[in-house]
Structures are given as structure tokens and as C-alpha cells.
Structure 1
Amino acid sequence: MTAMPESPGLEMHRGGGGSPLVLLHGINMTWKIWRPVVPALEEQHTVLAPTLAGHLGGPGLVAGAHGIGPVADAVEEMLDRQGIDRAHLVGNSLGGWVACELAQRGRAMSVVAFSPAGAWDTRAAQQRIVRLMRLTRRSAQWSSTRNLMSRPGLRRAALGLALERGDLIPNDVALQMVEETRACLLLEGLLRWIDQHGSIDRFDIDSACPVRLVWPVADRTIPYEPYGRVYRDLIPHAELVPLRGVGHVPMYDDPRLVSRTILEFTARVPAASAGTTT
């Protein structure tokens, strides 16, 4: 395993009660992007929301560690420290990719993946994703970006790739997202990994593990065509659910819809299969 050991200062949320549910955020973000849905989820589950390795407040990465393997390692180590064998895994974008990686390691009771990253079937589709990630990183460095975030209309435009209603995000949250993007250390290594390896070509997820792939119809970052279609091929037993009225990062666009999409799926899993918590 290549993630650096956790320290007491690392950011992770834990709350609620019931079977364990882990929230995994997307690239450049932190666990805080899940805040709008945490209260509803905690009514049914013990919710753990770590900040992923290589992100602001998350575990560091050993030099030369590329790809999502080290990120998944750090989440797995967190589960071990928390005394959890298996959990419901909920991820968005990069977090959805990590959730599927952990599922094939046997750590999932179920998986709900919102627009998971990492799969495509053409070089052009790969290059498009790489360009978007680099553009997001560059734009966070622009001195004008913080000013754009201070006005709802401009904020909606600036966040349009990620959210359908960026104007609904409070100004302080939008500014925090800019700082998180600036501080992300995973991106360049991940892009090198993508350049070397290309798309995911297989997932060995047990068909007994329920998987729900959730794709916003208005996703402008990782649209279902072609990216989601490839994921369907990689996980043939997965259920596909389209979401309307939300963007790639849907938690602020419609928290109730996102919470309901998660909870109605986790409710199907028998309590007897719940992971151990301490």
C-alpha cells in the first residue's frame, strides 16, 4: 500500500447510526461536498466521509504513486481502523471509480456511483477528459476566479461544468472549492496514469454485490455517451438510473433527490450483510 499513514489532523466526518455508509468525493474536492446530503443519510446509516488521499486535508501520497490504487488503499486502511469489514460505498466521479475499485476488493455491501470516472472507448474521449481536468486546474489559479464566485449568476456559469445550479452554492463554499482545487496533489499523477494506461478495461465485482450507476442527464463533465455506456459494459449486473435536473456533482443541485437515490438502494441490502463497526 502506498498511502501515507493517517494523522489526527486529517479531515473525515463520521456521524449517524446504522449500517456503515462511506461517501467518496470527486477530484479536486474534499468530503465537504457531501454536506447537503449527510443529515438525511445519517438517519439510516453510520456515515463516514473521508477526504481522499492527495486532496486538501486528506492523506498524503508517496512520491511516484499514480492512479487510484493509492487512493483506494487509504480508504481501505480507514475502514480497517474504524473496524469496518464492508460498507455501502457511495462515490461521485473519481469517488465512484474508487468505490468500484474497493468493491472488487470485497469491501462493498453495495455501490452507488454517480457519474464514475475512468472509462471510455476512444482516444478522443480520453483526451476530452484530460483537457477538462487541466482546464479546471488552470482556471482555479486565475486571479479573477474568486471574483466570479462572488456573484450568483457568474458563479453558476463558472461552475457550469460541474453543477446545473452553481448559483445555489453559498459564496464561501464556492471559494472553498477553488482552494481545494488549487491544493489537490493527485491530479498530475492521475493524468500520467491515464496517459500510460488509458481506460479501465475490467472490474471483477461479484454479481452478488448490488451496484447502481447514477447518471445525470445534464452531466457536462462525464456524459453518459460515451462514458456511462462503457461502465455498463464493465459492470453488466449494474442498475442504471438517470437523474434529471442535476449536473455532474449533484449534491447541491438537489440534495433530496440524491439522498433518496442512495437510500432506496441501500435499503434493499439485508441487514445481515452489514459490515462490523466499532
Structure 2
Amino acid sequence: MTPMQTVTTDDGGRIEFERHGSGPPLILLHGGMAPPEYWTPVIPHFEEYASIVPQRPGFGTCLDDPADTTAADVLDREVRYVRNLIDAVEGDPVVFGHSYGALTAIEAATGADVAAVVAYEPAVLPEDYRETAALADRMAALIEDGRRHEAVKRYVERVLHPDGIDDLDAWLADWPVWPDCVALAEEVVRMNRAVERYRLPDRLAVDAPVLVSSGTNGPDFLRQSARSVHDVLPHSRFVEFDGVGHGGPGNAPEVIAAEVETFLRNHS
């Protein structure tokens, strides 16, 4: 197991991350309920980079009391965290985010010097979908009723398996991070509420080149949003991977890494 490294920001905050290899920095931001280990199958495909994998604040580290963090603070908190990490590494990094990490990567890049951004299915809701989503409220009601497992299960159903799955309970029982996800139920609610409140602007002021991508087997609303994010970026390329779902980078690392490598070579 790679030991966690820590840097201290100018305001006294702590940033904890794993560093793999050497070379130009590649910051990997995991998504909603995926742990940092999500990137384990991805890292070997970027051997020429120093892969930097932070632990998201509130998901195991960094916060003194995550319960004090409101939904309105969640995205701002993580954007500041990523910008501080960008400042702490040597050189302008490539920032590669998945799902909620992809949204964070793009927002962080609007106020930081980065070489490029890679965003796989950023967690942005289309306006028509937002009106009926209300996932945060439904999860919060289940938690208040003492049904924490059911609350997090709703998230898995809506995001990871939107087309259904034969035996979800069996799938969850085999999912290594499931107990940790249940323990973080309140944080998942705050994250979802932040996503539901986020409004995609008419233009995202990211000067660096951005690769936005999705998979044909992912949730339709995220595929739609990925294209919408691409449309409001000034220097963006959009790619859709056939037969790949929302788990994209972790589930099909060779295919996606090859496209990312080509994109980065063309914009080096």
C-alpha cells in the first residue's frame, strides 16, 4: 500500500494524497462514492506521469467535523482543495476527474494553472432531469427514518445501475466499498444536494484544453450533460466510448487511457 503524503496549505489546511511514479503531475479525482482505489487500474496506463491521488475532503480525511459542512459548501470546499493541491505540485498538472470529481476538476481549472483537464461524465444535471431528481431529499428522508442502507442504495440505483440489475443486494454484498459508503450516507446526501443546485453557466472560463467524455452505457442524463459541458468550454473535445458505462475509467482503463494519451500528446 502506498503511504499517504501530506502538504500544508497557506491557511493551515492539510492535503493528503498518494503519489505513484515520477514525471509531469497527473491529479486523479475520484467520484461520488468511489474510493481513491478507483484509480488503481488506471495508474499503470500513465507510467510517464506522477499520478497524484488525493482523498476527497469529508470522505475519510481533511475535515475536523464533516457534519458541519452544508450542501452549499460542498463543491466550493472541494474546488478549493483541488486548487491548493494544484499549487502544491511542481509544474502545471493534468487534472483527470470522474463523475463528481470531473465537475470538481473543471470548476477548479477556472481559477488555476493546469496543463489540461480530462472529465469523464461530469456530475451535472440537465434542467429537465433536475426537476424530477430530488435524490438528496429522498435519501435524507430514508436516513431520518433510520434506513441508511436503503438511502445509499437509492444512489447506486440511480447513478451506477440506472438500467436496473438482476440482484442489486448481491452486487452490493460483493462491492468492497459498500460498508464505507453506508457510513458516509450524510456526506453523499450533501454531495447530491450540491449537484442538484449546480447550474451550468453559459461559458466555463477554462483556458486549458479539456477532454470531455462519456460512455454509451452510462446514464442518459449524464451523457446529455457531458455534451452540454463540452458545448460551454472554449477549448474542448468530446468523445463517447461505445459499450462503456458510468464507471468508465476504472472499468475500461486501457481504452480510455489510450484516448487520453492521444489528446494530451496533441495538446502538449
TM-score over 0.5 for the alignment?
yes
**Which residue of 2 is the match for residue 111 of structure 1?**
117
Number of the residue aligned with 2:267 = 269
Cα drift, residue 127 of structure 1: 3.8
1:27 match = 32
SS at 2:73 equivalent: coil
Task: Give identity over the alignment, percent.
Answer: 20
2:79 is the counterpart of 1:58: no
| Partner residue of 1:87 out of 70, 93, 100 | 93
Of 16, 20, 28 in structure 2, the residue corresponding to residue 15 of structure 1 is 20
Deviations 1:3-47 (A, max 9, x none): 98227xx4x221112111010111122211111111121x12010
Pair 1:181–1:171, CA change in 2 (3 A): closer
Change (3 A) 1:181 1:162: farther
Cα distance in 2 for residues equivalent to 1:114 and 1:240: 10
Q: How many angstroms apart in 1 are the aligned matches of 2:163 and 2:137?
A: 11
Cross-structure match for 1:276: none
Helix, strand or coil at the partner of 2:31:
coil
Q: CA deviation at 1:130?
A: 4.0
Distance 2:176 2:139 in 1: 17
* Equivalent position SS for 2:251: coil
Gapped regions of structure 1 (runs ≥ 5): 147-154, 271-278
Return the alpha-carbon distance in structure 1 between the equivalents of residues 141 and 27 of structure 2: 26
Quick check: 1:91–1:114 contact (8 Å CA) kept in 2? yes
Report which of the two has the higher share of helix: 2
1:85 CA displacement: 4.5
Q: Distance in 2 between matches of 1:184 and 1:84?
A: 35
Instruction: Give 1:245 deviation, angstroms.
Output: 1.7
Deviation (angstroms), 1:252: 3.6
Change in 2 beyond 3 A, CA 1:242/1:210? same
Offset, 1:92: 0.7
Residue 74 of structure 1 aligns with an amino acid whose one-letter code is Y
Name the TM-score, length of structure 2 as normaliser: 0.75
Q: 1:243 aligned to 2:241?
A: yes
1: CA distance between counterparts of 2:238 and 2:183?
33
For the 8 Å contact 1:119–1:231, the answer to whether it is kept is no
Aligned to 1:66, the other structure's residue is in SS state: helix
Unaligned runs of 5+ in 2: 1-8
The residue correspondences of 1:1-278 to structure 2 (distance < 5 A) are 5-6=13-14, 10=16, 12-41=17-46, 43-55=47-59, 57-60=60-63, 63-64=69-70, 66-81=73-88, 83-120=89-126, 122=127, 124-131=128-135, 141-142=148-149, 159-161=160-162, 174-180=175-181, 182-183=183-184, 185-194=186-195, 197-201=197-201, 202-206=203-207, 209-220=208-219, 222-225=221-224, 227-270=225-268
Change (3 A) 1:161 1:192: closer
- Native 8 Å contact 1:162 1:247 kept in 2: no
In 2, Cα distance between equivalents of 1:177 and 1:246: 22
In structure 2, distance between residues paired with 1:191 and 1:30: 17
Contact in 2 for aligned 1:221/1:248 (Cα 8 Å): no
1:173–1:236 Cα change, 3 Å: farther
**C-alpha displacement of 1:223:** 3.1
